[in-house]
């Protein structure tokens, strides 16, 4: 898991160093990683529900960190593109709403794939505007300085040594918990509200539902 997350977040598995210090290259590398994950998702057959859910967890975790870094440390540095920045923040909000919707999906069927496709297309649009209209407006002589700040914050958010801890904090359940011991456990997976932390309230709600369904 560490290797996968390090690859997604642009950290080397050995030292945790960012692959690039230039903020534009760092963000573009993040964009390509997420794009590759969507390509992997789309290449899977309908029956590969476990793998699809795993890829979605990776996409959600990567986006959560990436958008936070952009909003905190990158967007405020962009010069003369106030409207693009406002729009980008709204797009992050809409992306978040779509992710919340996908997290509620109980069966990885055609409808779920359609939601994932909408998310992918939304992100493609967002990335295009960022790379074409926003990132070129970052101050050229501060690209490495901003990159260094983002790298520190990224490691802080991710949890340099224990990325799984970050996943837990983000409410992302370990694969084993989501799917139980069975590889073919779509029923088990369907019962787990993917990425939704189990609260006392949701727990009792769920058990009421199960009782009435029985």
Applying CB under 5 A, the residues found at the interface with Fe ion are 130
User: Residue 14: how many CB atoms within 10 A of its CB?
Assistant: 7
Given the complex with Fe ion, which of 9 and 179 has the nearer CB atom? 9
- Least distance (Å) from Fe ion to the CB of residue 135? 8
Instruction: Catalogue the long-range contacts made by 92-98 (C-beta closer than 8 Å, 24 or more residues apart).
Output: 92/67, 92/126, 94/122, 95/63, 95/67, 95/119, 95/122, 95/123, 95/126, 96/67, 98/122
Given the complex with Fe ion, which of 62 and 112 has the nearer CB atom? 62
Given the complex with Fe ion, which of 55 and 63 has the nearer CB atom? 63
- Least distance (Å) from Fe ion to the CB of residue 67? 7
- Least distance (Å) from Fe ion to the CB of residue 140? 19
Given the complex with Fe ion, which of 149 and 206 has the nearer CB atom? 149
Asked if 115 and 95 count as a contact pair (C-beta separation under 8 A), the reply is no
Asked if 138 and 74 count as a contact pair (C-beta separation under 8 A), the reply is yes
- As given in the structure block, the two tokens for residue 109 are 């069927």
Given the complex with Fe ion, which of 58 and 130 has the nearer CB atom? 130
Can you tell me the distance from the alpha carbon of 25 to that of 10, in angstroms, rounded to the nearest whole number? Answer: 10
The CA–CA distances, whole Å, from 33 to 14, 58, 109, 195, 202 equal 19, 10, 24, 21, 33
- Least distance (Å) from Fe ion to the CB of residue 102? 19
- Least distance (Å) from Fe ion to the CB of residue 149? 16
Given the complex with Fe ion, which of 55 and 91 has the nearer CB atom? 91
Q: What are phi and psi of 11, to 5 degrees?
A: -110, 140
**Residue 18 DSSP SS3:** strand
- Least distance (Å) from Fe ion to the CB of residue 130? 5
Polymer length in residues for the chain = 214
């Amino acid at each position: 898991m560490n290797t996968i997350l390090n690859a997604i977040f642009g950290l080397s598995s050995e030292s945790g160093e960012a692959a690039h210090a230039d903020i534009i290259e760092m963000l573009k590398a993040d964009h390509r990683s997420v794009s590759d994950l969507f390509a992997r998702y789309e290449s899977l057959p309908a029956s590969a529900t476990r793998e699809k859910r795993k890829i979605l967890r990776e996409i959600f975790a990567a986006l959560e960190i990436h958008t936070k870094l952009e909003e905190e440390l990158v967007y405020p540095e962009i010069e003369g593109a106030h409207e693009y920045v406002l729009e980008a923040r709204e797009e992050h909000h809409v992306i978040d709403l779509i992710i919340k919707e996908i997290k509620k999906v109980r069966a990885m069927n055609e409808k779920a794939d359609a939601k994932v496709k909408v998310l992918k297309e939304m992100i493609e649009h967002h990335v295009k505007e960022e790379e074409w209209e926003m990132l070129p407006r970052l101050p050229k002589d501060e690209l490495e300085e901003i990159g260094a700040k983002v790298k520190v914050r990224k490691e802080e958010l991710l949890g340099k040594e224990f990325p799984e801890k970050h996943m837990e904090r983000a409410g992302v359940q370990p694969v084993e918990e989501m799917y139980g011991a069975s590889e073919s456990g779509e029923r088990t997976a369907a019962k787990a509200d993917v990425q939704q932390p189990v609260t006392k309230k949701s727990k009792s709600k769920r058990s009421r539902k199960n009782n009435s369904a029985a």
